[in-house]
Chains A and B, each alone.
Chain A
């Protein structure tokens, strides 16, 4: 399966203190899964390093040396080998390679919006050298993973083995109702921003409630998320960053309307002469304080245009952002930085898909994948049959009724 999102975004204002309009191919990715008996293989090639090396305009976004732009992901976004087997009525799996640590919510790439939420680095841990064990027994899924704490330093960064095992995470998921899952995660991440170590360590927590249900005529999706990251020096809490996010999507007659509201703390750093970049590793005096971003996003997707194996879904997305002092406020001043404390982003583009959708719960592997709503399928089955051709960011199940609501 392959996907790409040609998109034009206007950010007004952004880090240049002026309006900026840019276009690129976002989220170009090729995904492949394999299955040989109980062996599993998962691979995702992400080509953002080629199509948007400067980062995608995303006011409020930050991470990996980018600010107000979303950084390009690594070419080797995922490459894992695993085993999955039923043992005593439970489904058990073990995966290792580069990929997601078991923490937080699904990756934003498989959610209903083109723009990532600001909390991406609070709510997911990705592109690490991981080993993830998962057990699913009835309505309960438990996961534990160990990985390297350091973030990639660029799209071509290879998997980091030297620090493998210095960080860990665990996630417990309950499946109380069909189409509903509730998860709680914790993580300890060693020095994510200084590859050589010696940086601030992170203690992270997350609670996610997710609802995704399809009827004969429509599809409804809701996700609520709370996430917290504490940055620590020698165990002493230095900064606490929190996020609260709610998003929902409704699909009927293949038209998708989605909305998201978010309030997220962002650690402020001194930018380089390029106002969209921050030094990596950070300098010794880089913390300018914390800003608190409140965003509201509305997205509308038109029905997909399908031609054989290729589908394209036009969309438009409008986001209103507001930034205020966080705790501590430090010296960050939105008016100095942006010329305003309120911003807009308007994006339009087409979600292109080729091949069968898979990996609709990106961030979970093997036994950690909840069954598709209305089915008894679980585990790798969802990788292979989870979505629909032409499906965009919105997670998708494979029930027959969803054919009336192609996403």
Chain B
């Protein structure tokens, strides 16, 4: 509807205050109240909806699945604040909410992760002061609080917190929000060897304007530095003598459009480690719109990574990824664009002329290469806005800001 059409403008000026005074309260946001439950999808086969667990009291954000338990964090303020972690039994197609926990001193819990051994749950909290909250998963359905790490370097908020091991030691990689004019974004690395007493081992101001996320694998840390691109650090696996307390920069690439949000370094079934997938998060409107492509970066030379391909969806932008590496399928949360499954096997940087982008450096277009396998959740009668996705248990689990958690059939 146009803002004020010509015919109505005069009437508005005369009547606006009267209308304002006499109207009745009404909902002003998207509502799912009168729509059918989440079993109403029409799609069958790859990315078919198998079930869902609803939470419309809060906005759902990230998801982490370990075994038959899924943890979803919450974001912002809906009818309640985003200080809650929902714990779901995902042993069946329909997730069952079995418990929840309230994270102290948090208004947003935008990131949640489980350690590789399944013993710890780590939650990132915003805002002032930021922190990570650490829980014992001896009983995975009922986490027990261990400690909360916060200091002056985690202020005003920990936006994301990835966890992973370097030479057997568990670390958390905290991406800290910038604040005002004087507090730039920074990364903080925390040793979690003793989860009751986390120990900061490194901090650095970095990112333009954000350092948004990290991805750790084989002693290499991939950093999403927004408009400074993606950077690769040697923490012990790069052969340059780097460590978590003394990282060495290996290489940097500025992907087209910047806004580097997240990274996944892909190891394919043959053991090849050629590609990193970079998510771009352009500006969007939560619940309505999003923007940003998946960028494929050839990292076979870690010192000189270069972008070779991309995947674009009109009218939607990507968010977090999960890759089924055995089958070569990248699953991407795509906000209002649902969940996307993309075939990432083979040489992604070689394509026919008609599959190549004319502008920029001639990148291959994965869509034109026929790499898109399936689109999920857009068949639902509910509006979706998908934040995160994880492939596990031969299922795809998606966290949806507006609705909660979904279970989908994998693409392969």
Q: Which residues of A contact B (CB under 8 A)?
A: 150, 153-154, 157, 194-200, 231, 233-234, 236, 238-239, 242, 244, 246, 261-263, 265, 270-273, 275, 279-281, 283-285, 287-291, 294-296, 320-325, 327-337, 340-342
Task: Assess whether B25 is in contact with A294, with CB atoms less than 8 Å apart.
Answer: no
Q: How far is the CA of A281 from the CA of B16 in the complex (A)?
A: 34
Assess the B29–A296 pair: CB atoms within 8 A: no
Name the residue of chain B whose CB is nearest to the CB of A335. Answer: B27
B117-128 near A? 1/0 per residue, CB < 8 Å: 000000000111
A270 touches B77 (CB 8 A): yes
Residue among A239, A287, A336 making CB contact with B79, cutoff 8 Å: A336
Complex CA gap A261/B128 in Å reads: 37
**CB <8 Å contact, B208 and A322:** no
Interchain CB contact (< 8 A) of A281 among B26, B209, B286: B209
- Taking the closest CB of chain A, its distance from the CB of B315, in whole angstroms, is 12
What 1/0 mask marks residues of chain B from 74 to 91 whose CB sits below 8 Å from any chain A CB? 011111010000000000
Known contacts A196-B184, A263-B4, A333-B28; decide if A320 and B13 are in contact (CB<8 Å): no
Cβ of A142 to closest chain B Cβ, rounded Å: 28
Q: Which of B79, B181, B289 contacts A328 (CB 8 A)?
A: B289
B283–A238 touching, CB < 8 Å: yes
- Nearest B residue to A262 via CB reads B16
CA distance A246 to B282 in the complex (A): 36
**Residues 12-55 of B at the A interface (beta carbon under 8 Å):** 12-13, 16-21, 23-30
If A280-B180, A295-B20, A332-B28 touch, whether A289 touches B287 (CB-CB below 8 Å) is: yes
In the complex, what distance in Å separates the CA atom of A262 from the CA atom of B17?
Answer: 8
B233 interfacial by beta-carbon distance below 8 Å: no
Given known pairs A238-B283, A270-B108, A287-B286, the reply for A296 and B78 (CB within 8 Å) is: no
Task: Write the nearest CB–CB distance from B74 to chain A, whole angstroms.
Answer: 12
Can you give 15 A-B contacts (C-beta < 8 A)? A157-B181, A195-B180, A198-B227, A234-B257, A239-B283, A261-B16, A263-B12, A272-B127, A288-B285, A320-B21, A329-B287, A332-B28, A335-B26, A336-B79, A342-B21
Q: Please provide the 3 A-B residue pairs with the shortest distance between their CB atoms, ordered closest to farther.
A: A296-B17, A333-B29, A322-B20
| Cβ-based interface call for B210 (8 A) | yes
Q: Are B226 and A198 in contact (CB under 8 A)?
A: yes
Q: Are B13 and A261 neighbours in the complex by a CB distance under 8 Å?
A: yes
Q: Whose C-beta in chain A lies nearest to the C-beta of B180?
A: A153
Chain B, interface size: which category?
35 or more
Given contacts A272-B127, A325-B28, contact A331 B59 (CB under 8 A): yes
B29 interface neighbour in A199, A271, A331, Cβ under 8 Å: A331
Q: Is there an interface contact between A325 and B108, defined as CB atoms closer than 8 Å?
A: no
Query: Secondary structure of the B side of the interface?
Result: loop
- If A154-B180, A157-B181, A279-B157 are given as contacts, then 6 extra A-B residue pairs at C-beta distance below 8 Å, sorted by A number, are A244-B12, A244-B13, A283-B126, A285-B284, A331-B288, A336-B79
Q: With A261-B13, A280-B179, A323-B28 given, is the CB distance from A287 to B284 under 8 Å? A: yes
Q: Do A289 and B286 have beta carbons less than 8 Å apart?
A: yes
Binding site for A on B (CB under 8 A): 1, 3-4, 9, 12-13, 16-21, 23-30, 59, 75-79, 81, 107-108, 126-128, 156-157, 159, 177-181, 184, 208-210, 212, 226-227, 257-258, 261, 281-289, 291, 385, 401-402
Decide: B25 and A342 in contact? CB cutoff 8 A: yes
Verify B78–A336 contact, CB threshold 8 A.
Answer: yes
**In the complex, which residues of chain A have a beta carbon less than 8 angstroms from the beta carbon of B288?**
289, 328-331
A283 touches B159 (CB 8 A): yes
CA distance A150 to B181 in the complex (A): 10
A244:B289 contact, CB within 8 angstroms: no
> Please, how many angstroms separate the alpha-carbon atoms of A33 and B127 in the complex?
43
Q: A263-B4, A284-B212, A289-B285 are in contact. Are A335 and B180 (CB under 8 A)?
A: no
Cβ–Cβ < 8 Å partners of A289 in chain B = 29, 285-288
Bound complex: CA of A242 vs CA of B2, how far in Å? 11
Instruction: Determine the chain A residues whose CB is within 8 A of the CB of B30 once the complex forms.
Output: 329, 331
Contact A199 B19, beta carbon cutoff 8 Å:
no
CB <8 Å contact, B16 and A294: yes
Contacts of B286 in A (CB 8 A): 285, 287-289, 330-331
Known: A296-B16, A296-B20, A325-B29. A196 touches B285 (CB 8 A): no
**Beta-carbon contact of B177 and A291 below 8 Å:** no
> Does the CB pair B27–A320 fall under 8 Å?
no
Question: Chain A residues near B18 (CB, 8 Å)?
Answer: 296
Are B3 and A196 in contact (CB-based, < 8 A)? no
A153-B181, A284-B212 known; A279+B78 contact, CB < 8 A:
no
Contacts of B157 in A (CB 8 A): 279, 283
Given contacts A270-B108, A330-B287, A331-B402, contact A284 B77 (CB under 8 A): no
Query: From A200, which residue of chain B is reached at the shortest CB distance?
Result: B283
Smallest CB separation, A294 vs chain B (Å): 5
Taken together as a complex, chains A and B put the C-alpha atoms of A341 and B21 apart, in Å, by 11
* CB nearest neighbor in B for A331: B287
Name the distance in Å between A10's Cβ and chain B's nearest Cβ.
17
B280 to chain A, nearest CB (A): 11
Contact yes or no, B17 A320, CB < 8 A: yes
Q: In the bound complex, how far is the Cα of B178 from the Cα of A272, in angstroms?
A: 14
| Nearest chain A CB to B404 CB, angstrom units | 14
CB of A358 to closest CB in B, whole Å = 31
Tell me the minimal C-beta distance from A256 to chain B in angstroms: 19
Known contacts A280-B180, A329-B28, A341-B28: A287-B285 contact under CB 8 Å: yes
Which residue of A is nearest B184, CB measured?
A: A196
> CA separation between A198 and B79, bound complex, in Å?
32
A263 to B16, alpha carbons, bound, how many Å?
Answer: 8
Q: A294 contacts which of B20, B81, B108, B159 (Cβ < 8 Å)?
A: B20
- Candidate in B18, B108, B283, B291 with the most chain A CB atoms within 10 angstroms: B283
Q: Cα distance A163–B134 when bound, in Å?
A: 41
Contact A332 B29 (CB under 8 A): yes
From the candidates A231, A320, A335, name the one contacting B28 in the complex (CB within 8 A): A335
Taken together as a complex, chains A and B put the C-alpha atoms of A244 and B16 apart, in Å, by 11
Give every chain B residue within 8 A of A288 (Cβ-Cβ): 76, 285-287
**A284: chain B residues within 8 A (beta carbon):** 159, 210, 212, 226, 261, 281
A233 with B209: in contact, given A270-B77, A333-B27, A341-B28 (CB under 8 Å)?
A: no
Write the nearest CB–CB distance from A333 to chain B, whole angstroms. Answer: 3
For the complex, give the distance between the alpha carbons of A334 and B78 in Å.
10
Q: In chain A, what residue has the closest Cβ to B288?
A: A328
User: A341: which B residues are within 8 A, CB to CB?
Assistant: 23, 25-26, 28
Q: Roughly how many angstroms separate A295 CA and B261 CA in the complex, as a whole number?
A: 39
